[in-house]
Amino acid sequence: MEKTLPPLRRIVAIHDLSGVGKCSLSVALPVISATGVECACLPTAVLSTHTGEFTGYVMESLEDFMLPIARHWKQENIPFDGIYTGYLATPEQERQVEAVFDLLAGPEAMIVVDPVMADNGSYYANLGDEMCQAFRRLCRRAQVITPNITEAALLAGVPYPTTPHTPERLQEILGALGALGPRYVAVTGVHPSPEAIGNLLLDTQTQEVTWALRPTRPGLFYGTGDLFASSLSALLVRGMECKQAVQMATDLVAGAIERTALRPTPRRFGVDFEGVLPVYIQKVQKAFGQEEGNC
Ligand code: PXL
């Protein structure tokens, strides 16, 4: 008898579409698909490029279009296993995202909020404290939040920590973020020693802290937070334990950074995640077995 397969799980990715620069939806779509999860795209804005190291980019905010898209999906009774939300063009879009949660997130849906607003100690172009307040509200709706260390400090209301990041400063930040109510806090770009950089996970239910550290590569790599959060979201909706999912998502990012460092391509074009997807897909298939019909 022919084998049947369960339906694919489906995530809504709420993010911008930057045409060049490999971040946001142009990362979420391939990575979530490679994880064996369907990615429904809800664009917050369309840009010619991302806003770092490109000048003269053009942008159209889609805030009046976000709710009509979500209402149509609701009307069509399209089920969603998760909602992953990232870059917003304006602080006002936070209300739209909350309304999307109200429309589309059933009781079982997992909400992942990546408060994309800053890196390396400063806000991205055109963003400021109002965006931080908006993301603080949005994080209260999440089961999982994935700020980088700059965003984590902003959300916690503490100064940007100097490196190496000490256990005391990290504990202070994790405590403040845990108080926003998510089950898991995953902080990216943590630098506890000169040789190591990586991600830190707090399970707020058990207070267990897990490290996913890899060797340091100097410099700034665009889109790595989006790569991490996309992989983590998809692995979690497939039912992987958060600790294991953080390690697998960290390996994907570390692999992409390794390959990027070998190429002469200017950093603003993003990381070579395409080159590590084949190995990533194999790891995903091994973790879940073949029976679910991995991609
Ligand atoms: O990768 C984060 C990101 C997402 N979207 C846009 C950005 C950035 C970072 O610069 O500019 C538009």
* Whole-number pLDDT of residue 295: 46
Strand ranges across the sheet with 38-49: 59-61, 38-49, 10-20, 82-85, 110-113, 144-145, 184-193, 196-203, 209-215
**Residue range 201-249, pLDDT digits in tens:** 999 999 999 999 999 988 889 999 999 999 999 999 999 999 999 999 9
Each residue of 48-91: pLDDT tens digit? 999 999 999 999 999 999 999 999 999 999 999 999 999 999 99
Which atom of ligand 1 is closest in space to residue 223's alpha carbon?
1
Residue nearest to ligand 1 atom 1, measured at CA: 223
Give the pTM. Answer: 0.97
Q: Is 18 within a domain? A: yes
Q: Is residue 281 part of a domain?
A: no
Within a 10 A sphere around the Cβ of 65, how many other Cβ atoms?
15
Q: How far apart are CA 112 and CA 120, in angstroms?
A: 22
**Pocket lining: 148 vs ligand 1, CB cutoff 6 Å:** no
Who contacts 241 (Cβ-Cβ below 8 Å, separation ≥6)?
A: none
**Banded pLDDT at 98 (limits 50, 70, 90):** very high
Q: Look at residue 203 and tell me if it is in a domain.
A: yes
Question: Quick count: other Cβ atoms within 10 Å of Cβ 115?
Answer: 28
CATH number for the domain that contains residue 105 = 3.40.1190.20
| 268 has a pLDDT exceeding 80 | yes
Range of the domain at 24: 9-272
Output phi, psi for 271, to 5 deg: -100, 160
pLDDT at residue 244 in the model: 98
Residue nearest to atom 7 of ligand 1 (CA): 50
Has residue 1 been placed in a domain?
Answer: no
Instruction: Give the span between the Cα atoms of 229 and 223, in whole angstroms.
Output: 10
Judge whether residue 277 has pLDDT over 60.
Answer: yes
CA 200 vs CA 5, 25, 208, 230, 280: distances in Å: 35, 24, 11, 16, 21
Q: For position 292, what pLDDT does the model report?
A: 57
**Residue predicted with more confidence, 47 or 293:** 47
Give the confidence band of 1 by pLDDT, cuts at 50, 70, 90. Answer: confident
Does residue 87 lie in a domain region?
Answer: yes
Residue 295 belongs to some domain of the structure:
no
Tokens at 173, concatenated: 């930040």
- Regarding the beta carbon of 9 and ligand 1, being less than 6 Å apart is answered no
Q: In this structure, is residue 256 part of a structural domain?
A: yes
In the chain, how many domains are there? 1
What is the predicted pLDDT for the residue at 279? Answer: 98
Tokens representing residue 76 in the block = 């069509």
- 223 in a structural domain: yes
